[in-house]
Structures are given as C-alpha cells and as structure tokens.
Structure 1
Amino acid sequence: MTKFNLNQILLLLAAMLFTHSCGTSPAEEKTSSTSHLLTVATAPVVRASMVDTVRIFGTVHLRNQAQVGSQFDGRLDDFSLLPGDHVRKGQQIGTIIPPAREALLRTLQNMPAHVRPDLEKQIRAIPLISPIDGIVLEVMHHTGDVVQQGEQIVQIGDLHELDIRGDLPVQYLPIIRQTDQITASFVDYPHPSMNLSLQAISGQINESNQTAMIRLKLENPAETFRPGMLVRLAFAGSRHDSTLIIPRPALLEEEGVYSVFVLKDIHVERRQVEPGFLQDDRVEILSGVAADELVITERAYSLDDGMEVVVRNK
C-alpha cells in the first residue's frame, strides 16, 4: 500500500512540473535568452564640421631681469639681501669698498684731523644700486666678501610681466599667424585657463626638431606665477567641413591600430578605421565607417567581432 501511494505522488509531481514548463510565456523565454548578453550603448556616425586643436607645452620666463655686479675690485659691505626680498629701482643695496679706501681707513686715525675729510672725499665707498624693480632671485656674495671687477653679486627679476615661451612645429606657423587667442593652462598649478595674445615668433628655426619659439605676454601684477612653471598651450588649427565624426569612447586602440564596433542588426562588427582630428569628446574618422551607421560607445573593449548584444538606447 505504501509503495503504491509513493508512485502516485511521484507521478503527480512530474505532471505538475511538466505543466509549469509548458506554461512559460514568450516574454519570459525572451528574457531568459537575453539575460546573458552584453548590454551596450550606441551613437550614430554624423557629418559635421570639426576644427583641429594644436597643443604644445611652454614654460614661464622672466621678461626683465638684471645681474648686479661690482664695477671695481673691493670688499662688499652693507649688503643684506636674501632670495625673495623685494627691491626698487635706484635703491642702494650695498657698497663696494675699494682697496685704497680700506688702506685709508686703517691709517686715517693717525692723520691730522683737518685732512681727514678731504681724504675721505677723494677715496669713497662705491654704492651698489638696483637697476630695476623686482625680487631677488639669487645671491652670489655676502657682506665681507672680496669681489673683483665685473663679478656678479645678485640676480634680480621683475615678476610683474613674464613671458610664456613654447616651441611650435613649423607646419603650424601659417595657422598661428592668423590666431587671435591662445589658451594657456598651467600644469600642476590650480589656476583657471587664460586666453593670451601672441607677442612674437622667433626669426630662427631649431634645425634639430624643426620648431620655432613663440612668445606670449603674461601679466602678473600679484606675482602669482613664477619662472619655470609648465604651461599647456592650445589654439584652433585646420578646419574640416562635412567630415565623419564619432564619440571619442567609440574609438579603440591596440598597439597603434584603431578600430570601432558597428552594430549590424543584433550583432557587432569590428571595423578598422583611420582617425583624423582627435578631441576630448569627438573623433574625426577618415575611413572605415559610413554616415548614419551606429557605433558602440559603451563597453566596447568587452566585445568580440560577431558578438550578439542588447542595445540599451536603440
């Protein structure tokens, strides 16, 4: 009796499972069949105008600086400047005591009082004068040092007006001559980008790398910037009209070979392409795709040629 009941129960369970399996809806079957597929996003290949952006690096330089040195042999006195000190044009920053005055000072006390003033007038200390307004950049000597004629004592730089200099490849010279503004952004220094005017182009070409030095004027009234800072320089280059453009995330690069994935029905097709202008968010494509085709813009690096996908925004 027990064996008979057990067989009936097993048959009943099998019938229930079969009925449930046959009752699965088409929507449920579709969901089950696509659950393992990769979901991607696409964007159309469009025709539009695109302008190349020329980018180079530059550095900040002093526009006005002075090396202050001694015009005579002697001993440096009354000099207390340190790097970072500010000086004014015409300010006395020290004195040079000539050897003759040193000898006079040693013997002056032994001379009659009425001749001392005349002797001091004849052999005077020589004032050391700052030729420009600026900040002390480097100190080569200190009070008490013996210096020779022409020997440099201190370097002074004017930080209020600086230059940005960069090396521009010669192929861009015709373009930059027609450029009104160049965008400058500092590397590793938190400051908003600035639009600056081109001041000059060097009359000489660097033969080793075929570049010409360009110079921009950088106003610096608050002395925010310093010589040696690295700057990115950018300006508009050539313009291509009615060219093919895709979003930058769609472009793949492996060992110098560029490609995209194009959507064909529910599958993807890998295409090798030739990129043109590259911008942060867009890429010009010279060959490999056609207008209005859909390229994969998301999770493209996870795809293989011929893979079936689910399109999220189709």
Structure 2
Amino acid sequence: MRIVRVKSLAAGVLIAAALAFAGCDDSSKASATDSGTQAAVSGNASAMADKPELPPRPEYVVNVKVETITPASMRDILVLPGETEALDDVSLAAERAGVVEWVGVTEGQMVKEGQQIVRINLSALQAALDRAKANLKLADEQLRRRRDLYARKVLSREELEQSENEQTVALANLREAEVNYNYGITSSTVSGVVNKVYVDPGEYVAEGATVADIVNVGTLRINFNVPEADVRFLSEGQQADVRVDTYPDRKWTGTVDFVAWKADLATRTFQVRLVVDNRDGRIRPGMIARAAFVRRSLSDAVTVPLFCVQDKGGERIVFVEKNGVAQARTVELGVIEGDRVQVLKGLAAGDRLIVAGHTEVEDGTKVNVR
C-alpha cells in the first residue's frame, strides 16, 4: 500500500515538471515573437523617418496676352467681283465697197479722234470730186455773166433762172462727191489704241465690213452684279476701292456711274457700273477686278480680331481675363472688316480680351498676363 502511494507521488512530480517545462518554452517563444515585432516596427519607423517628403504639385497657370476692348469705328463692306471693259470699244466699218488703197495704222498704235485709218477707192472718188468742183466753178462763172447781162437787159429772166438752177445742181453734185469721197476714208471716231486691223492694202472689202477695232483704255468701266439685298446701299457718285487680281499690290478708286433699275431675271441681281481712271494703261479690258462697296459706317463698335473667336459646339467663344482667371464668353458676331469682326453681344468696352494663349485655356483656368 505504501509502495503504490510512492509511485503515484513520483508520477505527479514528473507531470508537474513536464508542465512547468512546457510553460517555460511557450513563454520563451512569445517573448521572442514580441521582440521581433517590436524590432520590425522600429525598423519601419526609422526608414520612414529617413525618406524625404515630396514637394507640393505646382498649380497650372497659362501665360497669356490681353487686349483691352475699346470702341472703334467700322465699315460694313461688300466685296464683289466684276469684269473690266473699255469705256469706248469701237469697231470701224467700211462705209462703201471697194479696194483698200491705204492702211495708215498698225496694231497697238495710239490714235486720236478723226485720224484716218483706211482709204478705199480714193483715187476714183478724188477724180469725181475734182470734176464736181470744176462743174460748180463753171456754173458760178456762167451765173455771174448772165446776171450781168440780165442787169443790162440783154438776157431774159428765164435764162437767168436756168443758170441759177444749173449752179444749184452743180453745188449738189459737189456735196455728193464730197460725201462719197469721205465714205472712202475710214477715220477713228474715238481716241484710243488700235487693238486689231482686219484689212491689208489691195484687199477688196464689202460695204459694212469691219476694218479695225479701236479701244479707249484711258478710262475703264467695271460691271458688277449686285444682290437685291445690297443694291439699296449703292448710288451714283459713290466711290469704291478697286483691286485687280493681276496687280494684288495696287489699288484704284472707282466711281459708280450707273445702278440698274431693273433686275436680271435669270440671276435676280442688279447691274452696277464703276468708272476707273486708267491713264497708265495697266488695267486691260477683260481683266477680273474686285470692288469694295461701303454699305454703311458704324461708330463705337466693339470689335475683336477674327483669330480670337473659337467655335465650340456651334457656339462662338472668346476668352477674357478677370482677376487672373480666364472666363469664356459666348458672343454674337456682326460686320467683318479686314481681320476684325464686330461683336454685337457678349463683350463690352473695358473687357480684357485674351489675344495670345487663348487656345490653351478653358473657363476658370488661372492665367498670367505677360
């Protein structure tokens, strides 16, 4: 009985020792784990303390240039193309049929009004003219003698009247011969330049055939077709600037000398004609010209450069600067003159319009005015 108790006591001592040993082992592991965690945290904190802080992100600012809106005068201009023509463009025709005996001009030559161009059958006409002059001279002499005889009552009244009739007939024949002679000479009816000669000496021409073209280029006419909505702004005596496509750097001044009262039924436009001084002969008939007609003048108009206007979704937008911030303005446009356009709504005098950098901003973008 005592032996059993001793063994039981020994077993209990061993179990207690084992539990104690196990408890010590778990405590060691827990203590090691806690130590490792604390070391890791301490290491991370040290690393974070060593890393430098990032600078704050810079604010987005756009450099711009501005223009203060100032009311200015403006012209509503209508630009139309037109075709030039000579003020006088004459085709000279033969007034009688016959052989061309003489041509007195060449193409490109300047001629004056009344200058002879062509002579036709002039030799025969000259002979007829000389004969008529001789007959008239004879009739005049005979009438003079018979008047003297009648005064001395040697000649009857009937014989005197016969001589008077003969003189009248001779005078009529002379006039007819002079007219026929003049018909044989084709002269220029205007001053200008010979554009074309159609005949040569020795050539037979029919009555009414064209022998030469004479154009007066010292003064030119330019014809324009003006829409019915704009013709009411134009009147005779009004001046307009004229440019010719051939001379882009030159400008002429034309004067309106005709405004049609009736529209062309095909185009529903009205003919308007300008007269231009062309003494230097630079403009040639048939060239294309463009005239700037002033329909009306505007005063105190709000204008902006055309390049500042942007199209965003069908709206016309400009940007203004206010307190360092870009503001979008929806504008309504009016008259265009050159590179500027009138603003009817959306801007006012004193606004600071952004004219450089406007394509890089949006509504609310901060800007720096240079």
Matches of 2:216 and 2:261 in 1, distance apart? Answer: 25
Aligned-partner SS, 1:231: strand
Matches of 2:259 and 2:318 in 1, distance apart? Answer: 40
Matches of 2:100 and 2:241 in 1, distance apart? Answer: 46
Q: Hey, what does 2:90 align to over in structure 1?
A: 66
Q: Hey, what does 1:215 align to over in structure 2?
A: 273
User: Structure 2-normalised TM-score?
Assistant: 0.58
Q: Is the 8 A contact 1:44 1:294 kept in 2?
A: yes
- How far did 1:69 drift? 1.6
Q: Is the 8 A contact 1:165 1:213 kept in 2?
A: yes
Q: Hey, what does 1:279 align to over in structure 2?
A: 337
Q: Hey, what does 1:303 align to over in structure 2?
A: 360
Change in CA separation of 1:138 and 1:191 when aligned onto 2, cut-off 3 Å? farther
Matches of 1:63 and 1:255 in 2, distance apart? Answer: 51
Q: Is the 8 A contact 1:168 1:213 kept in 2?
A: yes
Q: Hey, what does 1:167 align to over in structure 2?
A: 225
Structure 1 unaligned spans of 5+: 1-14, 102-120
Matches of 1:62 and 1:254 in 2, distance apart? Answer: 49
Q: Is the 8 A contact 1:80 1:143 kept in 2?
A: no
- How far did 1:255 drift? 9.9
The number of residue pairs the alignment matches comes to 268
Change in CA separation of 1:91 and 1:183 when aligned onto 2, cut-off 3 Å? same
Change in CA separation of 1:223 and 1:49 when aligned onto 2, cut-off 3 Å? closer
Change in CA separation of 1:278 and 1:254 when aligned onto 2, cut-off 3 Å? farther
| Percent identity for Structure 1 against Structure 2 | 22
Change in CA separation of 1:296 and 1:204 when aligned onto 2, cut-off 3 Å? same
Quick one: which amino acid aligns to residue 174 of structure 1?
R
- Once the two structures are superposed, what CA deviation does each residue of 1:137-196 show, in whole Å capped at 9, x if it has no partner? 223344444433222221111222222332233333333238743222333316643444
Quick one: which amino acid aligns to residue 312 of structure 1?
V
Matches of 1:243 and 1:129 in 2, distance apart? Answer: 58
Aligned-partner SS, 2:194: strand
Q: Hey, what does 2:20 align to over in structure 1?
A: none
Aligned-partner SS, 1:165: strand
- Greater helix percent: which structure? 2
| RMSD (CA atoms) | 3.9
- How far did 1:275 drift? 1.0
Q: Hey, what does 2:257 align to over in structure 1?
A: 199
Matches of 1:87 and 1:155 in 2, distance apart? Answer: 11
Matches of 2:263 and 2:343 in 1, distance apart? Answer: 33
- How far did 1:126 drift? 2.8
Change in CA separation of 1:61 and 1:311 when aligned onto 2, cut-off 3 Å? farther
1:126 aligns with one of 153, 177, 184: 184
Q: Hey, what does 1:312 align to over in structure 2?
A: 369
Matches of 2:120 and 2:315 in 1, distance apart? Answer: 68
Matches of 2:298 and 2:280 in 1, distance apart? Answer: 41
Q: Hey, what does 2:64 align to over in structure 1?
A: 40
Structure 2 unaligned spans of 5+: 1-49, 125-176
What pairs with 1:76-115 in structure 2 (closer than 5 Å)? 76-79=100-103, 81-97=105-121
- How far did 1:57 drift? 2.7
Q: Hey, what does 2:309 align to over in structure 1?
A: 251
Aligned-partner SS, 2:230: helix
Q: Is the 8 A contact 2:74 2:299 kept in 1?
A: yes
Q: Hey, what does 1:157 align to over in structure 2?
A: 215
- Once the two structures are superposed, what CA deviation does each residue of 1:84-112 show, in whole Å capped at 9, x if it has no partner? 122233332223349xx7xxxxxxxxxxx
Q: Is the 8 A contact 1:46 1:246 kept in 2?
A: no
Change in CA separation of 1:256 and 1:232 when aligned onto 2, cut-off 3 Å? farther
Change in CA separation of 1:304 and 1:39 when aligned onto 2, cut-off 3 Å? closer
- Greater strand percent: which structure? 1
Change in CA separation of 1:33 and 1:210 when aligned onto 2, cut-off 3 Å? farther
Change in CA separation of 1:266 and 1:209 when aligned onto 2, cut-off 3 Å? farther
- Once the two structures are superposed, what CA deviation does each residue of 1:243-300 show, in whole Å capped at 9, x if it has no partner? 4332333223589863323345555454443210111243211234455443321243
Matches of 1:143 and 1:85 in 2, distance apart? Answer: 18
Matches of 2:98 and 2:269 in 1, distance apart? Answer: 46
Change in CA separation of 1:245 and 1:87 when aligned onto 2, cut-off 3 Å? closer
